[in-house]
Chains A and B, each alone.
Chain A
Amino acid sequence: MSGGPGNWRASVQAGMFLRSFLLQACWSFERMQGLGLAYCLEPWLKRLYGAENRRLAEALARHMRYFNTQPYMAAFVLGVVARLEHSAAAQPEAAAGIHARIDTLRASMGAALAGLGDAFFWGALRPACAALAGALALALVCAGLPVSCAAFVAAGGYAAAFNTPALWVRWKGLSLGYEMGEAVVVELQRWDWQAKLFVLRKSGFLIALGLCAWLVTGQGGGGARILSRVLLFSGCLAMRWTRLSLPRAYALLVLWNLAGALIP
C-alpha cells in the first residue's frame, strides 16, 4: 500500500473491507453502527496494540460509542480513524488529545458523509438503477427475449450497476481515508458529488419518463383510453407528491375503482 504511516497492508485493508459488510449487523437504536465500527477496526487495533489487552479493550470500548453514517461512506471514516489510531499508538503522550480528535471526527464526518451518501446512493443511484433495469427488461422483451430470461438479466444488471460504484467507494474510501487522514474531506470535495448526483438523477429521470410514457401510451387503446390512463397517472403522481404511504395510496386506488364501478 502506498501513503500513510505505519504497517497498513492490503491484507489489513481487505480484512476491514470484508468486515465493513457487517457494519450494521448489530445495529441498534442506542448506538446505531457503534458496535459495527469497533468490529471493523478490531484487526487494525490488534495489529497496533498487539498483546496489550488493556489498551486494545480501551480502544474498542471507545469505538463502541454512538456512530452513524451511510454504510458505504463509512469506509472513509474507518480509514481516517485507523490512521489517527496509529498516531495515538505511536505517541502515547499525545494519545488523549488524538482520542478526543477521533471522537469529534467520528461525529462530524459521520453526519456529513451520511448526508452525501444518502443523497447519492439511496436518493439517486438506487432509483436510477431501478429505472435502468425496468427499461432494460422492457427492451429485451420487445426484442423477443422470454420474460423469464429478461427478468434475470434485468435483476443482474440492476445489482451490477448499483454495486460497481458502491463497492469501489467502500474499497477506495478505506485506502484514501488512511493515506490522507483528515485531508480526505478536501479530496471528497474535489470529487464534485453534486455534479455526479445531478447527472445521475437527470439520466434516471429521463429513463423513468420514457417508462411512464410507454405505460401510458404504448399499450394500445384509443384516445379515450390513453386520456384515462394519463388522468390516472396524474392522480398517482399526486398521491406520491403528498407523501401518502403505499398501503394508503393503494387503498385510494381501490376506492377510486370502486367508485367508478358503483357510480353509473
Chain B
Amino acid sequence: MTEWHWVTLPGLCAATALLELDSVRVGQWMVSRPICVGPLLGACLGDVEWGFMVGVMVEFLTAGDLPVGASLPGNGAVTTATTLLLSCSPLSLPGAAALPAGLLAGSCFSRLETVWRERLRALTHVAEARAARGQAVPFGRLVLAGLGVHACACALFLYCAVVLLEPALRAAWSASPETLRGALEASLRQIPLLGAASLLFALRPR
C-alpha cells in the first residue's frame, strides 16, 4: 500500500461519490453521466483523452437505460470511475482488463444500492413520527442523512472495488494465455461499435 492508496485514491473515490449523487439524489443535472465523469476523472489522473474515450463508450452503452421508479440499471459513473482508477493511475492495468471490471462493478453497485434504498425508509418514519407528535420535521438533517449514506456507500464501494480488484486482475492478466488477452484487447477496440449499436437502439424509431 502506497501513498496513492491512502491519500489520492480515497480522495478521488470521495469526489466521484459526490458527483454520483447527481444521478438520483441531487439535481439530475447529468454531471454524473459517464461523458462528464470520464474527462473530469481523466484530468485528475493525468489522461483526459483516455478518460473521455471511456466516458463516451460507457455513455453510449448506457444511453438507453431508463432510471424509472424502482428499476436500477448498471451505474455508469461507477463503471467509468472503476475503469479509470484501475487503468489510468499508478495501478496502470491494461484497459482491456479494467473495462470489464468496471462494467461488473457498475452492475454490482446497482444491486447493492437496493440495500440502502430499502433502509432509507427509516428517514420517512422519523419524519412521520415527528409530524404525528406535532413537532417540527428536521428536513435538513434527513436530507443530509440520505445524501451522506449514499455518498459514503458509493465512495466505500469504489475504494474497495479498486483495492480488491487490482491485485486479482493483475494476477489473472499475467497468468492468462496470450489468446485470451488478445481477445480482450480486440474486444476493447470493438467496444465503440457496441456503444454505437446501443445508442442507435436507444434512439430507434418506435
Taking a contact as CB atoms closer than 8 A, the residue among B29, B35, B182, B200 that contacts A155 in the complex is B35
Query: In the complex, which residues 107-148 of chain A have their Cβ closer than 8 Å to any Cβ of chain B?
Result: 114, 118, 122-124, 126-131, 133-134, 137, 147-148
Distance of B107 from chain A, by nearest CB (Å): 5
Knowing A24-B24, A53-B134, A147-B49 are in contact, say whether A39-B139 is a contact too (CB < 8 A).
yes
Shortest Cβ distance from B156 into chain A, in angstroms? Answer: 19
Are B70 and A211 within 8 A (Cβ)?
A: no
Do A246 and B147 touch across chains, with their CB atoms under 8 A apart?
Answer: no
Q: Is B92 an interface residue (CB 8 A)?
A: no
User: Contacts of B28 on A, CB cut-off 8 Å?
Assistant: 21, 24, 71-72, 166
With A201-B205, A236-B193, A250-B103 already in contact, the answer to whether A24 and B25 are too (CB < 8 A) is yes
Q: Which residue of A lies closest to B130 (CB)?
A: A57
Q: Does A229 contact B (CB under 8 A)?
A: yes
Q: Least Cβ distance of B174 to chain A in Å?
A: 18
Is B63's CB within 8 Å of the partner chain A? yes
Q: Which one of A60-68, A92-100, A174-182 is at the B interface? A: A60-68
Instruction: Tell whether B52 is near chain A: CB-to-CB under 8 Å.
Output: yes
Taking the complex as formed, is A163 at the interface, i.e. its CB lies under 8 A from any CB of chain B?
Answer: yes
Q: A253 near B: Cβ within 8 Å?
A: yes
Q: Determine whether A188 belongs to the interface, using a CB cutoff of 8 Å to chain B.
A: no
Interface of A is mostly: helix
A30 to B118, CA, bound (A): 7
**B94, CB-defined interface residue at 8 Å:** no
What CA separation (Å) do A152 and B48 show in the bound complex? 9
Tell me, yes or no, whether B16 is within 8 Å of chain A by CB.
Answer: no
Residues on the B chain within 8 Å of A247, using CB: 74, 100, 103-104, 107
Task: Name the CB-closest residue of A to B120.
Answer: A28
Given contacts A61-B128, A64-B124, A127-B199, contact A22 B143 (CB under 8 A): yes
Q: Chain B residues near A30: list those with CB within 8 A.
A: 121, 124
Is A257 in contact with B103, judged by CB distance below 8 angstroms? no
Known interface pairs A29-B118, A53-B134, A254-B184. Does A245 touch B124 (Cβ–Cβ under 8 Å)?
Answer: no
Closest residue of chain A to B42 (Cβ to Cβ) is A151
B44 CB within 8 Å of chain A: no
Distance, CA A28 to CA B118, complexed state (A): 6
A29 near B117 (CB under 8 angstroms)?
yes
- Which residues of the other chain, B, contact A35 by a CB distance below 8 angstroms? 123-124, 127, 142
Tell me which of A130, A148, A241, A246 contacts B74 (CB under 8 A). A246
Contact, CB under 8 Å: A64 / B120: no
The answer to whether B196 has its CB under 8 Å from any CB of chain A is: yes
A128 and B137: CB pair below 8 A? no
The answer to whether residues A159 and B74 also contact, given A126-B63, A127-B203 and a CB cut-off of 8 A, is no
A240 CB, min distance to chain B CBs, angstroms: 4
Contact of B49 among A29, A114, A124, A148 (CB under 8 A): A148
Known pairs A28-B121, A209-B200, A250-B187; A202 contacts B205 (CB<8 A):
yes
Alpha-carbon gap, A261 to B179, bound state (A): 7
Nearest B residue to A148 by beta-carbon distance? B48
B155 beta carbon closer than 8 Å to chain A:
no
Report if A208 contacts B (CB, 8 A): yes
Known: A27-B25, A64-B131. 11 other contacts (CB 8 A): A24-B24, A57-B131, A60-B131, A72-B28, A123-B66, A127-B63, A130-B63, A130-B199, A236-B196, A250-B103, A257-B182
A–B complex contacts, Cβ < 8 Å, 14 sampled: A22-B143, A26-B123, A29-B114, A57-B134, A123-B202, A130-B59, A131-B63, A134-B199, A148-B43, A155-B35, A155-B39, A233-B193, A237-B200, A250-B103
